[in-house]
Amino acid sequence: MARAITNQRKAVNTLVAWVIGLLIFFPILWTVLTSFKTEAVAIADPPIWFNFHWTLENYFTVQERSNYFRHFWNSVVISVGSTVLGLVIAVPAAWAMAFVPGKRTKDLLMWMLSTKMLPPVGVLVPIYLLFRNMGLLDTKLGLIIVLTLINLPIIIWMLYTYFREIPGDILEAARMDGANLRNEVIYVLLPMAVPGIASTLLLNIILAWNEAFWTLNLTAAKAAPLTAFIASYSSPEGLFYAKLSAASTMAIAPILIMGWFSQKQLVRGLTFGAVK
């Protein structure tokens, strides 16, 4: 029997949730506010919160100095491309592990996840040399490949978890009705796992969108996404806080809006199968 939750405890939990949420959101709020300040106001001590002259000058300067929309398009192609390619590879792999499990399935999953524990800088030199020799430096294709490989363990782990919640009897019934392996995966398995696939897709787009290490080291100008666009406002002469904040706001705005509108789908997918 479930234990009743008192109104007082609900109020405390709500308050704690709001405090944590505001602490997490505060850096974003401060960045947005700073983007509307002049450089002098941005570095004022003590900080000026709202009582300042709001200006769009930083946004105009950022757009004049660098082509925002080119970087934005590069980010869209790289994040969506790497996620779609990862799903194409991960769906059959997760299906095999979920419905044709072997004795070493868990060991294989742990091995794949362990690749995320390696510091990226540890493999930077060999990957850089491979990309240079193969002509993939500063190309969107090269970044799609490397980000696919980086996020593939997470994609497989998430899909494996969702697929395990689907009764195998349903797939067996489809085979008895004459469905081959391709039809079983496309017309039976995938429609039943739509919430999990959607949340996996959204989460990995966010991870690829925010990836900075590889995008800064494997691009120069042609394929540079928004992470490189932000880094360009850090120079040896110093940090231009207002312009840097404007660039950061322009970079995070698209993914923030996408996350806001897809939060229900994301939560639904991440809790898929949690309630029996």
pLDDT tens figures, 160-187: 888 888 887 887 888 887 878 788 878 8
**Per-residue confidence (pLDDT) for residue 73, from 0 to 100:** 93
Residues 6+ apart with CB under 8 A from 98: 160, 163, 164, 166
Number of domains into which the chain is organized: 1
**Structure tokens that stand for 264 in this block:** 């229900």
Q: Flag whether 271 is in a domain.
A: no
Q: Flag whether 179 is in a domain.
A: yes
Place of tokens 């039976």: 188
Instruction: In whole angstroms, give the CA distance from residue 98 to residue 159.
Output: 9
Q: What are the backbone angles phi and psi of residue 238, rounded to the nearest 5°?
A: 130, 175
Q: Flag whether 147 is in a domain.
A: yes
CB atoms within 10 A of CB 249: 21
Q: How confident is the model at residue 272 (pLDDT cuts 50, 70, 90)?
A: low
Q: Flag whether 117 is in a domain.
A: yes
Q: How confident is the model at residue 254 (pLDDT cuts 50, 70, 90)?
A: confident
pLDDT tens figures, 221-240: 788 898 888 887 766 555 67
What is the pTM (predicted TM-score) of this model?
A: 0.82
Question: Domain span at residue 83?
Answer: 66-232
**Per-residue confidence (pLDDT) for residue 110, from 0 to 100:** 85
Q: Flag whether 80 is in a domain.
A: yes
CATH number for the domain including 120? 1.10.3720.10
Instruction: In whole angstroms, give the CA distance from residue 91 to residue 209.
Output: 22
Q: SS3 for 239? A: strand
Q: What are the backbone angles phi and psi of residue 16, rounded to the nearest 5°?
A: -60, -40
Q: Flag whether 90 is in a domain.
A: yes
> Whats the size of the chain, residue-wise?
276
pLDDT at 69 over 80: yes
Task: Cite the DSSP H helix spans in 66-189.
Answer: 68-99, 105-114, 124-134, 140-164, 168-176, 181-183
**Per-residue confidence (pLDDT) for residue 1, from 0 to 100:** 44
